Amino acid sequence: MKPVKIIDTTFRDAHQSLMATRMRVSDMLPICEQMDRIGFFAMEVWGGATFDVCIRYLAEDPWQRLNLLREHLPNTKLLMLVRGQNIVGYRHYADDVVKEFIKLARKHGIDIFRVFDALNDIRNMEKAIKIAKDIGAEVQGAISYTTSPVHTIEKFVEFAIELEEMGCDYICIKDMAGLISPQASYALVKALKQAVKIPIDLHTHCTSGMGPISYYSAVQADVDIIDTAISIFAGGSSQPALENLVVSLKDTPYDTKLNLQKIIDVGYHFLQMKQKYAKYISPIAEMTDASVAVHQIPGGMLSNLHAQLKEQNALDKYQQVLEETPRVREDLGYPPLVTPTSQIVGIQAVMNVLAGKRYTQISKEVKDYCLGLYGKPPAPIKPDILKMIIGDEKPMTRRPADLLKPELAARKIEAEKLGILRKGTEQEDLVTYTLFPQIAVKFLKGECKAEKIEPLITTEELHDNLEEQKIAAIAVALNEHLTDNGKFIQISKTTDKQVSGWKIKARQENIQ
Ligand code: CO
């Protein structure tokens, strides 16, 4: 018997993927006690976009959020996502910032740091990993998963071995675009299990629809941990749902041993909470997007490309851009298409198509990428393309963050002048300010107002909807029954709200 362990992502990745990271801590706390009793291996609750969104839109102190979650989840390990040298931001920060951030996150309650880099450049991860290990935390070294001729199982295995040697406690296969197929997940997990001794965690999204099947095959290959979300916040561009998985693995050697009733009980809380945030939930994010499986461009990127072309009045070029995107990706050494490389590749593809000639116009980001400022591309950039983009300049071969001078001391002087370091949380405030100088000032001065949440649907309407669904289900069942007996019924909508929005015609017309 080898129970599969579960990491719950509901408080981080799930709402980041489905509703722009808007879940407030005040909506998390009432359900923490029940979540804490489920028996998750860990809960991912912090990092990624949560930090930025807290101070930008929610007027919520991210450090305080972490304190509260730690206090209300005393029995569950807390995990955070760290974007390597980008920490929780969008550029490389100097090593002193990485060090202070990790130390503080640990102090406020993080047990496991999941560290990744979009290019799988270990130099962008090593600082975060080493600091976390030095202060006694656990580390998941993450492999950013993508598909390309150079992203082979052998390469992923080599990378995993490096991560293990660096002291990581787990390997996480981080499939942020939901690209991993059932065959690939089986083969990769099997290969990793043979090559490294530390446990393997598979993290995927349902974007392409393959997620649950890929989890099942990873389980067959003896994966140790998988990442899921509570069903109400699962599916679409979020993680696969926990409940189905618990049922699917029940009474198998991989049985999660989690109590389904306890999980279903927390589901009711999330159902009500989700209604509250309806205006942030993108219908596209909840859909299965088969296009990823067809042309390997993740859904979020497709909508970006579409928006860019619309802005330029060039929607007729959409198909050409879709064809150009994989070519640019190939030219640039097959970077995985995630932030920030998805934007770098996408913008250049649009420029190439609109200019009518490739690489006559070049974005600053593409140039920086070619100069090595983001890290080492997975494969060499095509030499003729590189020449067109950077001319005679030489790409940097050192670790990108080596170019950065320590930042905290100078930021401290600025912050003191601005009077934004609050008593008792000076270090946390300094790090917040260093990470996001533009938005942190307003936040730290207490001038940031929490965005108002206006529900799209009232509770009354929700009940009507549920009623409609129930009636429709009964009608279908009845219809089946009557059809079998050679009779038919119809359902129709009425205005009689007292009883229900729907009436079964069969009953109305007394058809037996
Ligand atoms: Co994810």
Ligand 1 centre from 265 Cα, in Å?
Answer: 25
pLDDT at 283: 76
Mean pLDDT of 439-468: 80
Ligand 1 centre from 397 Cα, in Å?
Answer: 29
pLDDT at 34: 98
- pLDDT interval class at 380 (50, 70, 90): very high
Mean pLDDT of 67-74: 98
Ligand 1 centre from 179 Cα, in Å?
Answer: 12
| Contact predicate 374/119, CB 8 Å | yes
Ligand 1 centre from 321 Cα, in Å?
Answer: 26
Ligand 1 centre from 375 Cα, in Å?
Answer: 21
Mean pLDDT of 410-416: 98
- pLDDT interval class at 491 (50, 70, 90): low
SS3 229: strand
Euclidean distance between CA atoms 163 and 157, whole angstroms:
10
Cis peptide before 340 (omega within 30 of 0): yes
Ligand 1 centre from 365 Cα, in Å?
Answer: 24
Ligand 1 centre from 473 Cα, in Å?
Answer: 34
Euclidean distance between CA atoms 112 and 41, whole angstroms:
11
Ligand 1 centre from 213 Cα, in Å?
Answer: 17
- pLDDT interval class at 333 (50, 70, 90): very high
393 or 503, greater pLDDT:
393
Report the percent of the chain where pLDDT is more than 70.
87
Ligand 1 centre from 9 Cα, in Å?
Answer: 9
Ligand 1 centre from 156 Cα, in Å?
Answer: 18
Ligand 1 centre from 203 Cα, in Å?
Answer: 7
pLDDT over threshold 60, residue 228: yes
pLDDT over threshold 90, residue 111: yes
Ligand 1 centre from 180 Cα, in Å?
Answer: 12
SS3 114: strand
Ligand 1 centre from 12 Cα, in Å?
Answer: 9
Ligand 1 centre from 128 Cα, in Å?
Answer: 19
Ligand 1 centre from 227 Cα, in Å?
Answer: 9
DSSP letter (8 states) at residue 203 = E
Ligand 1 centre from 81 Cα, in Å?
Answer: 9
Mean pLDDT of 177-202: 97
Euclidean distance between CA atoms 394 and 386, whole angstroms:
10
- pLDDT interval class at 123 (50, 70, 90): very high
Ligand 1 centre from 483 Cα, in Å?
Answer: 46
207 or 58, greater pLDDT:
58
Ligand 1 centre from 239 Cα, in Å?
Answer: 7
pLDDT at 292: 72
Ligand 1 centre from 101 Cα, in Å?
Answer: 21
Ligand 1 centre from 420 Cα, in Å?
Answer: 33
Instruction: Write the CB contacts of 24 (distance below 8 Å, at least 6 apart in sequence).
Output: 58, 60, 450
Euclidean distance between CA atoms 189 and 182, whole angstroms:
11
Ligand 1 centre from 17 Cα, in Å?
Answer: 8
Ligand 1 centre from 140 Cα, in Å?
Answer: 14
- Least confident range of 26-35, 310-319, 348-357: 310-319
Ligand 1 centre from 174 Cα, in Å?
Answer: 7
- pLDDT interval class at 492 (50, 70, 90): low
Query: What type of residue is 140?
Result: Q
pLDDT over threshold 90, residue 197: yes
Closest CA to 268 of 236, 243, 237, 248: 243
Ligand 1 centre from 104 Cα, in Å?
Answer: 23
Ligand 1 centre from 54 Cα, in Å?
Answer: 19
Ligand 1 centre from 286 Cα, in Å?
Answer: 15
Closest CA to 335 of 385, 369, 371: 369
Other Cβ atoms closer than 10 A to 446: 10
Ligand 1 centre from 240 Cα, in Å?
Answer: 11
pLDDT over threshold 50, residue 76: yes
Ligand 1 centre from 376 Cα, in Å?
Answer: 22
Ligand 1 centre from 48 Cα, in Å?
Answer: 9
pLDDT at 237: 87
Mean pLDDT of 53-64: 97
Ligand 1 centre from 501 Cα, in Å?
Answer: 39
Ligand 1 centre from 460 Cα, in Å?
Answer: 34
| Contact predicate 246/256, CB 8 Å | yes
Ligand 1 centre from 205 Cα, in Å?
Answer: 6
pLDDT over threshold 90, residue 367: yes
pLDDT at 1: 75
